[in-house]
């Protein structure tokens, strides 16, 4: 593929658009490659960001490879990326919260209807509109679909741009925009607090943030991993105990003892051994998103009145609350910084659970 292979299905160039370099998946089976996309010129309430860092979420991989075909089919070309930290380079005339030169961050959403009950309740992720996700959602301005942060620039309504607290490393802060909020929100919603016993299943991007956040909330944290070599890191990240989930005897020791378990696993796996670890009235919440239905024993739910639940990112207000919490506690992701030319290698390593613990793209590598 040439250096700037034009994307054929993009909106026509007009005075209201500009071109931006990006990386896109041309199809489910081809690697990501350089391309050029079109962005809208900032409208009255928009901010234009120069993207500095973009985290690599396993959702980017699911979407680029059309692994969510039955629930969220991918429109190609697909420009992933929803863990974005950038510098404001232009603002619309009515923008109040940002000025040129400010830092700003964008997560998984770039718009919503703003009027439905979910939006009124600051839960824009559940917008009945529905929410406009940062990539692969219908683009209300240019037609086609939205393009994400694997791009040199992004234009977003200021209502969906967030403030990065002072003092946080910017590359390490980028993953907070998805991995951070996706784990913070369920920990808060299910009332995790000091002294509770919390399990985190899967030590990848989401899992390692869940460990840091649950630890900072005062919980006793146990990590369940399939990769024994991650045990030492789990403790360094804030886990009080580590269980290799394939070892039945280790699992047995924790039967009936958890208040809350957060499952961040990206692939099909057996939930039943984890249901057995919950206390009476305990909750296991799925944030990991394999596309295939997972069988659950009804008996594991009814004996102990247990709950199996799910959670989707978090609203904009709660995302700012999470960023501020991370600012107060000095929390960022443990990252491996890569140039964008290594994105396909990063995807392949994610498939092998070989990530410590989030890849972040240094977007200067695209300029
Ligand atoms: P990741 O960095 O690849 O981590 C996933 C971890 O799951 C792996 O590191 C591995 O941990 C474990 N794992 C992988 N395959 C497994 C298998 N076959 N059996 C058991 N464990 C396995 O991925 P991520 O970025 O954290 O994302 C995790 C999932 O959350 C993805 O499905 C993603 O799409 C989803 N997600 C959901 C939301 C939401 O709003 N609900 C938001 C963001 C992401 P160990 O090596 O420790 O076993
Ligand atoms: Zn994500
Ligand atoms: Zn709405």
Q: How high is the pLDDT of residue 57?
A: 98
Q: What are phi and psi of 332, to 5 degrees?
A: -140, 175
In a domain, 24, yes or no: yes
Same-domain pairing of 187 and 164? no
Residues 15 and 62 in one domain: yes
In a domain, 74, yes or no: yes
pLDDT of residue 12: 67
Give the residue whose CA is nearest to atom 19 of ligand 1. Answer: 269
- pLDDT for 107 equals 98
pLDDT value of residue 105: 98
Atom of ligand 1 nearest to the CA of 269: 19
Same domain, 150 and 19: yes
Ligand 1 mean position to 202 CA, how many Å?
Answer: 6
What's the pLDDT score for residue 94?
98
**CA 60 to CA 18: how far, in whole Å?**
24
Q: Which has the closest alpha carbon to 308: 321, 295, 319, 318?
A: 295
Q: Identify the CATH number of the domain in which residue 57 sits.
A: 3.90.180.10
Residue 357 phi/psi, 5° resolution? -120, 0
Distance 238 CA to ligand 3 centre (A): 37
- Nearest residue by C-alpha to atom 32 in ligand 1: 266
Alpha helices in 262-339 (DSSP H): 272-275, 298-302, 316-329
Residue 206 structural domain:
179-310
Among all ligands shown, which has an atom nearest to the Cα of 264?
A: 1
The Cα 280–Cα 257 span in angstroms is: 9
Is residue 88 domain-shared with residue 143, that is, in the same domain?
yes
d(CA 260, CA 197) in angstroms, rounded, equals 7
Three-class secondary structure of residue 217 per DSSP: coil
Query: Does residue 40 belong to any structural domain of this protein?
Result: yes
Residue 326 lies in a domain: no
292 part of a folded domain? yes
Residues with CB under 6 A from ligand 1: 57-59, 62, 178, 182, 202-207, 225-227, 230, 264-267, 269, 287-289, 311-313, 350, 353, 355
- The pLDDT score that the predictor gives to residue 87 is 98
Q: How many CB atoms lie within 10 A of CB 248?
A: 8
Which of the ligands is closest to the CA of residue 115? 3
Same domain, 10 and 149: yes
The pLDDT profile of the chain, 367 residues, written as one tens digit per residue, is: 334 444 444 666 788 999 999 999 999 999 999 999 999 999 999 999 999 999 999 999 999 999 999 999 999 999 999 999 999 999 999 999 999 999 999 999 999 999 999 999 999 999 999 999 999 999 999 999 999 999 999 999 999 999 999 999 999 999 999 999 999 999 999 999 999 999 999 999 999 999 999 999 999 999 999 999 999 999 999 999 999 999 999 999 999 999 999 999 999 999 999 999 999 999 999 999 999 999 999 999 999 999 999 999 999 999 999 999 999 999 999 999 999 999 999 999 999 999 999 999 999 999 8
Residue 132 CA to ligand 3 center (angstroms) comes to 10
Same domain, 36 and 168: yes
Residues 200 and 135 both lie in one domain:
no
Check whether residue 295 and residue 339 sit in a common domain. Answer: no
Answer yes or no: do 70 and 166 share one domain.
yes
Ligand 3 centroid – CA 293 distance (Å): 27
Identify the nearest ligand to the CA of 127 by its number.
Answer: 3
As a whole number of angstroms, the longest Cα–Cα distance in the chain is 66
State the pLDDT at residue 10: 60
Helix (H) or strand (E) holding 33, with range, is strand 33-40
Q: Any alpha helices (H) in the chain, and if so which ranges?
A: 58-64, 117-120, 170-173, 179-189, 205-216, 231-237, 248-252, 272-275, 298-302, 316-329, 343-351
- List the beta bridge partners of residue 132: 111
Residues 167 and 191 in one domain: no
Domain with residue 196: its CATH number is: 3.40.50.720
Same-domain pairing of 298 and 350 = no
User: Which H or E element spans position 95?
Assistant: none
* Residue whose CB lies within 8 A of the most ligand 1 atoms, among 183, 264, 357, for a mutation test: 264
Residue 327 lies in a domain: no
Q: How many CB atoms lie within 10 A of CB 86?
A: 28
CB 71 within 8 A of CB 120: no
pTM, rounded to two decimals = 0.97
CA 130 / ligand 3 centre spacing (Å): 6
Whether residue 169 sits in one domain with residue 31: yes
**The pLDDT value given to residue 340:** 98
Q: How far is the CA of 346 from the centre of ligand 1 (A)?
A: 14
| Three-state DSSP string of 123-136 | CHHHCCCCCEECCC
Distance (Å) from CA 77 to ligand 3 centroid: 27
In a domain, 135, yes or no: yes
Contact yes or no for 199/255 (Cβ under 8 A): no
State how far the Cα of 122 lies from the Cα of 110, in Å rounded to an integer: 14
From the alpha carbon of 62, which atom of ligand 1 is closest?
A: 34
Tell me what pLDDT residue 8 has: 42
Termini Cα distance of the chain: 18
Q: What is the total count of domains within the chain?
A: 2
Q: Is residue 21 part of a domain?
A: yes
Q: Which pLDDT score, from 0 to 100, does residue 367 have?
A: 86
């Amino acid at each position: 593929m040439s250096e700037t292979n034009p994307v054929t299905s993009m909106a026509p160039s007009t005075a209201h658009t500009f071109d931006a370099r990006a990386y896109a998946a041309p199809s489910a089976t081809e690697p990501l490659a350089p391309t050029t996309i079109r962005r809208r010129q900032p409208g009255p309430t928009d901010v234009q960001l120069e993207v500095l860092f973009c985290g690599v979420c396993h959702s980017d991989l699911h979407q680029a490879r059309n692994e969510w075909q039955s629930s969220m089919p991918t429109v190609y070309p697909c420009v992933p990326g929803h863990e974005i930290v950038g510098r404001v380079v232009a603002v619309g005339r009515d923008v109040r919260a940002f000025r040129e030169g400010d830092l700003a961050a964008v997560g998984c959403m770039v718009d919503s209807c703003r009027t439905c009950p979910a939006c009124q309740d600051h839960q824009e992720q559940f917008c009945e509109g529905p929410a406009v996700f940062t990539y692969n959602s219908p683009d209300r301005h240019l037609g086609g679909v939205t393009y994400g942060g694997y791009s040199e620039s992004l234009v977003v309504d200021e209502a969906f741009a967030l403030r990065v607290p002072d003092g946080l490393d910017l590359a390490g802060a980028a993953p907070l925009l998805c991995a951070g909020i996706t784990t913070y929100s369920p920990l808060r919603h299910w009332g995790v607090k000091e002294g509770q016993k919390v399990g985190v299943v899967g030590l990848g991007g989401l899992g390692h943030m869940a460990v840091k956040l649950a630890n900072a909330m005062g919980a006793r944290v146990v990590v369940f991993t399939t990769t024994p070599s991650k045990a030492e890191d789990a403790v360094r990240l804030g886990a009080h105990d580590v269980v290799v989930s394939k070892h039945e005897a280790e699992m047995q020791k924790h039967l009936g003892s958890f208040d809350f378990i957060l499952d961040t696993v990206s692939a099909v796996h057996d939930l039943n051994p984890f249901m057995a670890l919950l206390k009476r009235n305990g909750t296991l919440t799925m944030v990991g998103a394999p596309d295939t239905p997972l069988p659950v024993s009804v008996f594991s739910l009814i004996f102990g009145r247990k709950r199996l639940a799910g959670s989707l990112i978090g609203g904009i207000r709660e995302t700012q609350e999470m960023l501020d919490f991370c600012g107060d506690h000095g929390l960022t992701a443990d990252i491996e910084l890569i140039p964008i030319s290594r994105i396909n290698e990063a995807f392949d390593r994610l498939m092998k659970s070989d990530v410590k613990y989030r890849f972040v793209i240094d977007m200067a590598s695209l300029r």
